[in-house]
Structure 1
Amino acid sequence: MISKSFNLYKLLPWVVTCILLSPIIAIVLSAFVIDDSGSFQHLLDTVLLTYISNTLLLILCVVLFSICFAMPCAWFVACCEFPTRRTLQWVLMLPLAMPPYIIAIVYTDLLDFSGPVQRTLRQLFGWQSANDYYFPDIRTLLGASVILALALFPYLYLLLRGAFLAQSGGLFQAARSLGLSPLRAFWRVSIPLSRSAMAVGISLIAMETLGDFATVNYFAVSTLTTAIYDTWLELGSLTTAAKISSVMLLVLVILISLENYSRRKQKVYQRNGSVSTDIRFVLTGWKKWGALTFTWLLISLSLFIPIAVLLYYAVHYFAESLNDDLINYTINSLWLAFLVAILALAVALVVNFYQRLNPGLGAKSAVRLSSLGYAVPGTVVAIGVLIPLTNIDLWLNDLFISWGLSSLGLVLSGSLFILVLGYLVRFSAIAVGSVDSSLVQVSPSLDLASRTLGHGPAKTIWRVNLPLIKKGLLTAFILVFIEAMKELPAALLLRPFNFETLATYVYQFVSDEMIEYAALPALMIIVLGLIPFIVVNNMLEKRS
């Protein structure tokens, strides 16, 4: 009995890891499958290189804009003293709760030819048509880059702020004492010491940009993500979609490899310390007003203005928007996000406690492999999940027919099972990382003390470890819940017939240029993301 339980305890983490890795393995294997339809070869001969170049250019532009947005904010909040600094340090994180496609529809509505901005300009200056003046078109690759950067810059801001706070204040003061101005000391000392955090933040932003579908599709920018969506839903070629997904995986591997290669020889040694209040230099005059203007204008563009526009439409079209469909889709989103968060938490507990009870290369490998899904775009995960489950469904149907029974239908690939699995593959890494960061703070001596008192591993986990990491567990649950509420690409590709989430419901109205009816469900997505996000931030502030 003990042997069987021991084998199960050893086997379960690897079973979970293999399930989470199966979509990636399926995508890699699909690269070697011959495409009988010839669709992939046709794409390769015509537009595939354009898709790849657009994708790389989009990533580059989003990263550059994100650096321009995040770096000054992180420096102001971490190393300067000015009014509202304490408020800004957490408000600047809130745009993470804003799906980029919602920001996109708001600014398209505001800045289009028929929008209030251009209409006001025509009334003020007497212009009659678009031929009388020039106004930049937001529905371009550059416009999509700015929109994505407004939604994604908090990733880099959080990491850079943490890096600036962790730096020894004496290094910066030494640079100042050698005659460097604050700006030159920032470029010569603070930025080189924050290179690791910047590389990780840039990688996160690049991966999120690579996986974006709704924004680029709404702006008619052809990328690899839109190619996967069109190939599967319009051409019906799963093999071709899988091959394009393998190209995206290759781009992803190149991005991660470049990030690791750029830091291969970097070693930073500094005395433990932080930027304390007495080291922060006080901004006065035009510098103070410049910092206030930049930070609050950025928050207004990325959060306050989109919410204000959505509130306006939601109030004016409330009666038409509030219907049974909205209520049903809200319930669908809530229970789906709740279920995925619970399952992701279970996965995190299995692999992390396996690592804690069996420290070594094998356990670390299980944790790292189970976390690969978050680095893979949602469209790629969707195709990777579709391939094995569709083949299993076909095999089961053939088996039942050979037994003289009626076919089962698409019991896996055509049900909610595939949607839950796709979300789980995508977001388990968030829970794994959060639980791991909490668990490493629990001293192993507590486990040893529990064992000497006669408690086994299971009772030690239940009585000692879980109570000590309950905040980390709640944080993991909330973060996965927020991401699942916002997820669109995987939901569009994997949802069964007659099943919608708030994200897909909003996207339908966005596709039909009906922002008025998309406003209320979009606000619900934002609110359901903002409230848990604020709760998590307060928990982390209290813990620190």
Structure 2
Amino acid sequence: MTDILTDPVPHKRETSNFSGPTRRYAGRLWAFLSLLVAACVVMPFAALALQAVQGSAGLWPHLVTTVLPVALRDTFTLLVGVGLLTMIIGTGTAWLVTAYDFPGRRLLEWTLLLPLAMPTYIIAYAYLDILHPIGPAQAFVRDLLGYDSPRQFRLPDVRSMWGCIVLFSFVLYPYVYITTRAMFLMQGANLLEAARTLGVSRRALFRRIALPLARPAIAVGVALALMEALNDVGAAEFLGVRTMTVTVYTTWITRSDLPGAAQIALAMLVLVVGLVTLERVARQRQRYTLSAQRARLMEPRRLGALQGVATLFIGFLPVLLGFMAPFAYLVNEAVKRYQFSGISDRLADAAFSTLGYSALATLIVMLAGIIAAYALRMHPSRNGNWIYRLSTIGYAAPGTVVALAVLIPLAGFDRFLDQSAREWLGVSTGLIMMGSGAALVFAYSVRFLTIAAGSVDAGLSRIPLSLDHASRSLGQGAFGTLRKIHLPLSKSALAAAALLVFVDCVKELPATLLLRPLNVETFATQLYGEAARGTYEEAAIAALAIVAVGILPVILLARTGRRKSQ
């Protein structure tokens, strides 16, 4: 999955050999379509920059002196804390299941992926109730210690920076676990065994050989985790941490200050560019490091019974805190809610809206991804690579920034259309784009196009060009070859991409919260609203539905990882 999201364009490409005028025409047509897709992605960010530049002259100094210092401090603290803790948890668990053999290791390998199904805002919503002073966890501790009231004893408040860092880390560590474990599996046994013959202990082997070789993969995983942490708005707001994402949201919604929100969003993009640059550098080093690692895989060391049980407990602890505990809470609350009043009509409406918007966005994203990837296969060039990369920049931007960027041009289009209709026809068109949900679908498409384009590109790269030549010799053009050869042979990659896009749309909170039509709720927004009001039990079923949908790509990743490790 990290290959798709971070560097989808291979370094070397062969040209699909449709010769003569037919190939030139087909290449230009697909290049034009790809350019159109890239323009639709870039246009909102250009509008965002223009809006920020047009802000009042005194606005930026005010933001710099009053708003940004707190937002930058909290964001920096959160990213440093999450980066360090996810690195420790992800790298440690990856080494445990790779270097040691103990009862339950095979089960632990894939259960360590389960926190990926738990969005950050859901785990914050769950633990706010679990760790509440009168919640089940603190009540249990007080019973053990012999206290009767929260006034006599209470744990530190989870609504704090440390609580936000810990909760984020136990959800986001799988990004580091996936990339680092893949690196550990690719490290040849000959190198590690040579170190063992020189008297290097297993701990020193990890510290002096395995860990340095895995640093690029660790950097990639940490960068992905930090981008997810930066994208969050619900959990940080619930936990009282004023990150830049929360600041953009409050500046826009609470203060109705669109230019100010646009200027803060631009500052966020600078931070995102830094994270992406770090990740790119790490992947370049990763390619170099892996080039010679094609030997026999390392044999895990068999642990004794007591050591095995202790290792299984340590490895299972992140799963317990990052998935099992909040999932059990959601199931318990959902069952109680269902027994009390059944399933409300609001939940059914939210399910219809969630599935409808997500399915429509998935269809559009897959079509745009096919255009972007196939244009690069038909017409590979430096310009084609740049067009492809421009069409996939949306994933790096937080959902709040994407929503703000989409709002500016589409709201302007609605105003222009309404004013023109009033002048020429004497009628009002209203908010066509913003009121119909088209803006929300467009935001989903901009943000998640990278997943579809990367998956299609990966699938096409595995199809030999000899099939293109055979199709051409049988009289098929570019579109016929795509329809009859490439799409059928890439159906597994297409299905995986569609699943990932659909799940990400269902889980997306910031863009949905800001762009949904009036009186329309999805699972994510309904959960956010109930948690903001403190009525956690009302949103348990919606939260459980999001987690259930989020488990699907975890199953896909587990199956893929099992095949690679065999």
TM over 0.5: yes
Instruction: Please say if 1:437 is aligned against 2:440.
Output: no
For the Cα contact (< 8 Å) 1:334–1:485, is it kept in 2?
A: yes
**Aligned mate of 2:343, from 322, 327, 334:** 322
CA distance in 1, matches of 2:38, 2:61: 34
CA distance in 2, matches of 1:109, 1:392: 43
Name the amino acid aligned to 2:112: L
> Structure 1's 220 and 142: CA in aligned 2 closer, same or farther, altered over 3 A?
same
- 1:402: how far off? 3.9
Q: How does 1:168-187 map to 2 (within 5 A)?
A: 168-187=188-207
CA deviation profile, 1:206-240 (whole Å, cap 9, x unmatched): 11111100000001111111111111111112111
CA distance in 2, matches of 1:466, 1:265: 33
* SS of 2:242 mapped into structure 1: coil
**Aligned mate of 2:437, from 412, 416, 420:** 416
CA distance in 1, matches of 2:155, 2:550: 34
Q: Which residue of 2 aligns with 1:12?
A: 33
Q: Which residue of 1 aligns with 2:374?
A: 353
Instruction: Please say if 1:82 is aligned against 2:102.
Output: yes
CA distance in 1, matches of 2:482, 2:55: 49
Q: How does 1:235-254 map to 2 (within 5 A)?
A: 235-254=255-274
Name the amino acid aligned to 2:44: P
* SS of 1:413 mapped into structure 2: helix
Q: Which residue of 2 aligns with 1:483?
A: 504
> Structure 1's 387 and 274: CA in aligned 2 closer, same or farther, altered over 3 A?
farther
CA deviation profile, 1:139-168 (whole Å, cap 9, x unmatched): 101101111111111111111111111122
Q: Which residue of 2 aligns with 1:457?
A: 478
CA distance in 1, matches of 2:382, 2:265: 30
> Structure 1's 284 and 126: CA in aligned 2 closer, same or farther, altered over 3 A?
closer
Q: Which residue of 1 aligns with 2:8?
A: none
Q: How does 1:12-411 map to 2 (within 5 A)?
A: 12-35=33-56, 40-130=60-150, 132-133=152-153, 135-260=155-280, 267-268=288-289, 270-273=291-294, 276=297, 279-318=299-338, 319-320=340-341, 322-403=343-424, 405-411=426-432
Q: Which residue of 2 aligns with 1:428?
A: 449
CA distance in 2, matches of 1:507, 1:275: 49
CA distance in 2, matches of 1:274, 1:416: 53
- 1:255: how far off? 2.5
Which shifted more, 183-192 or 124-133? 124-133
For the Cα contact (< 8 Å) 2:188–2:296, is it kept in 1?
A: yes
* SS of 2:495 mapped into structure 1: helix
> Structure 1's 425 and 271: CA in aligned 2 closer, same or farther, altered over 3 A?
same
Name the amino acid aligned to 2:241: V
* SS of 2:226 mapped into structure 1: helix
Name the amino acid aligned to 2:513: L
Q: Which residue of 1 aligns with 2:10?
A: none
Which shifted more, 121-130 or 483-492? 121-130
Aligned-residue Cα RMSD (Å) equals 2.3
For the Cα contact (< 8 Å) 2:227–2:272, is it kept in 1?
A: yes
Q: Which residue of 1 aligns with 2:522?
A: 501
Name the amino acid aligned to 1:441: R
CA distance in 2, matches of 1:421, 1:541: 35
> Structure 1's 124 and 280: CA in aligned 2 closer, same or farther, altered over 3 A?
closer
For the Cα contact (< 8 Å) 1:78–1:275, is it kept in 2?
A: no
For the Cα contact (< 8 Å) 1:313–1:516, is it kept in 2?
A: yes
CA distance in 2, matches of 1:265, 1:516: 48
* SS of 1:414 mapped into structure 2: helix
Q: Which residue of 2 aligns with 1:530?
A: 551
For the Cα contact (< 8 Å) 2:373–2:456, is it kept in 1?
A: yes
- 1:320: how far off? 2.6
* SS of 2:433 mapped into structure 1: coil
TM-score (norm 2): 0.90
> Structure 1's 115 and 236: CA in aligned 2 closer, same or farther, altered over 3 A?
same
For the Cα contact (< 8 Å) 2:455–2:494, is it kept in 1?
A: yes
CA distance in 1, matches of 2:529, 2:504: 20
CA distance in 2, matches of 1:397, 1:259: 44
* SS of 2:548 mapped into structure 1: helix
TM-score (norm 1): 0.94
CA deviation profile, 1:303-344 (whole Å, cap 9, x unmatched): 111111111111111143511110111111112111111111
> Structure 1's 443 and 302: CA in aligned 2 closer, same or farther, altered over 3 A?
same
> Structure 1's 349 and 39: CA in aligned 2 closer, same or farther, altered over 3 A?
same
* SS of 1:298 mapped into structure 2: helix
CA distance in 2, matches of 1:64, 1:392: 44
Aligned length: 542
Which shifted more, 495-504 or 87-96? 87-96
CA distance in 2, matches of 1:389, 1:14: 20
For the Cα contact (< 8 Å) 2:31–2:379, is it kept in 1?
A: no
Which shifted more, 302-311 or 391-400? 391-400
Name the amino acid aligned to 2:448: F
Q: Which residue of 1 aligns with 2:6?
A: none
- 1:265: how far off? 7.2
- 1:269: how far off? 5.8
> Structure 1's 4 and 171: CA in aligned 2 closer, same or farther, altered over 3 A?
closer
CA distance in 2, matches of 1:4, 1:171: 52
Structure 2 residue runs without a partner (length 5+): 1-20
* SS of 1:454 mapped into structure 2: coil
Name the amino acid aligned to 1:52: L
> Structure 1's 311 and 203: CA in aligned 2 closer, same or farther, altered over 3 A?
same
For the Cα contact (< 8 Å) 1:165–1:274, is it kept in 2?
A: no
CA distance in 1, matches of 2:334, 2:418: 47
> Structure 1's 274 and 117: CA in aligned 2 closer, same or farther, altered over 3 A?
farther
> Structure 1's 254 and 30: CA in aligned 2 closer, same or farther, altered over 3 A?
farther
For the Cα contact (< 8 Å) 2:116–2:174, is it kept in 1?
A: yes
> Structure 1's 12 and 450: CA in aligned 2 closer, same or farther, altered over 3 A?
same
Q: Which residue of 1 aligns with 2:18?
A: none
- 1:6: how far off? 6.1
For the Cα contact (< 8 Å) 2:27–2:378, is it kept in 1?
A: no
> Structure 1's 124 and 89: CA in aligned 2 closer, same or farther, altered over 3 A?
closer
- 1:510: how far off? 0.7
CA distance in 2, matches of 1:29, 1:254: 22
Name the amino acid aligned to 1:293: F
> Structure 1's 307 and 261: CA in aligned 2 closer, same or farther, altered over 3 A?
closer
Which structure exhibits the higher relative contact order, with contacts defined as CA atoms closer than 8 Å and separated by 6 or more residues? 2
Name the amino acid aligned to 1:228: V
CA distance in 2, matches of 1:533, 1:121: 33
